[in-house]
Structure 1
């Protein structure tokens, strides 16, 4: 991640990282390209100078890897919030469980397994642990308490039960300070998390919170909107002493920003002001096949100055196919990398390289939040799921993906007929002048 120098900081950014209160809770709202992640690390630097022990946290591993260099010189750590929460919870040895969980795993010694089985426990050979459901634990809490582990209760994988965590924390005595947590892309988390953080922050001496969010970039049903975040943190919507807005777009060209704005769904985070920097029109490319799209990407990259490139696919199988094809076709020109949560050994986030020209990154669109590239390709548009009853989901996805591009943007789809595909109905038409239409 590229940090700006002091001359590149805008007045509204400077107001946030220098003037915002250093204690309690602060929320920063900003659309794509306005520098929320930059503010996160500038804020961390300012807090660090005041000995506030800041930690920058985010939702996914890819964004954490992308930003890891931003605070390295100042000794500022970044992490995923779930990893931080796991470590903080474990340090307090809080034993808890989620009543709605299908599986609550038990730390049951071998010589006590018969007792566990008698209470309804079953064996999971893949985890090599005994487990029961949450309701069974609730009905026999005294018996199971000795086997409960000190880990945050979960509703599902990568989804903590924040309500259960709040209940367990309420029964806890003294808790450790966490310094000042700075949470980027905070709209990705459920609103129950903000209630938990606010409760604990009020019980410790040093428990500050800086939240950066944009509800127009919510991609999941359990994400939070701005009103919910304000309520969870106990900040009034009109409290300008603790709620700040960013409006200047530093990332995109004007042409890319104009296209992205057509997918804006009108939520309170607002749109950034249109940038002055000019560039080429984004392209909408009709191809006869997925392979033809790959060949077009290769042709574009062969005729342009080498930069940093992102390819955002619609699902994991498509990610793998584009990765394999592009890696083969671009040997000697680009280093092609990918990330897969299903294959952390070979394609884990820790292997990714950012901020280096000549790198092409193929990722599932759900992993692109917060990133930026010189060129962005969004292939196989016709495979995007468009729910006529909730077009906002489609628009938010397009808004997030398009706004990742600094200089050039390409939307590609496969069609072998003259009939108009459904996805084209929701894109600007040729008369809008916002897209250059091409057939390959």
Structure 2
């Protein structure tokens, strides 16, 4: 692992935008979420800026109230496989749910992406929080929150076991002898657990980086424990630096309690920086963004957070409705944050929706101002890096051309990639294959 600690940066491919009305901006392509050309351009820009990875979020259920990007968008593995062909260094992280997929297929998909990209794949593990997702997969009910994390833990164990099916050297391919594979280095998993029975072995050899990098976005207690125990990168949300510091300290402590080195677990809050030539210019750009939003944007956010509950049925200027029971089995951490904000400030439904319509982050200002705040969070124990949403068209280019050079000059960000694989960029070791033979220690040395 590098001795110099650097900020880690990811860029999220979010097409027409992350809110309900971003798509209305005059410079936004309304087909951006299914535009290969746009994503190729953004990927090239992020790679030019030496970003660690591209990130694709996902959801498997929509309604007419869903945000535009989620209504019409690419499947994550598909778009990242396409981008693997037009990039050479940047990591490629896909979101894929354990609640509505099978471990063997997922192990195969990510191993394939890792081979296609020369060792740049990452898997963001989610458990799917929208209850109506079950209806798209011939299921009568959505698993409750705690059960989803029990499933996720076993699921990941199975996938990582399948990734170890082939030891290094198992692919012999000796034309003289006619031996294609060494059977002693090819292993069946024979997993029989609470939720899965998987024989194996996987039908693709061990990948260039050993195993894809594991991401998670746990914020609930179950999610934090899962992430602290098994993830390598955590994508999170922090309202402010203090909240970021509290989450950071908590999850790093949990990782230590599981016997892990907390320095090999990276915590990356999502941010939507708005960069201007000056602080005043950036404020004007923020107002340009805020002008696109409406009360419906906030109501849509609430609906999504509370399992597609219809908030339009309530009096906007009345008390915030009693919906805690709805949020419990949906996006639990997000719904609890909304309820905590409502209680703390006694907000009406209208006030809550307005607050959520256009969140105003702290990363707004001149290049120096944005760099200062990134440095403050990074050095102040609130983040190991950040996942960048592009709030307005052109902001990625501004960030790469104006902010990154400042971070590089301060020694806070790389000037070139550390290697060719995603693990090399992050400074993560290659996971040891569970079947690898340990070198024999001579008796005289073992006795010393």
Q: Could you state the TM-score of these two structures normalised by the residue count of structure 1?
A: 0.27
**Structure showing the higher helix proportion among its residues:** 2
Q: Could you state the TM-score of these two structures normalised by the residue count of structure 2?
A: 0.26
**Structure showing the higher strand proportion among its residues:** 1
If asked which structure has higher relative contact order (CA below 8 Å, sep 6+), I would say 2
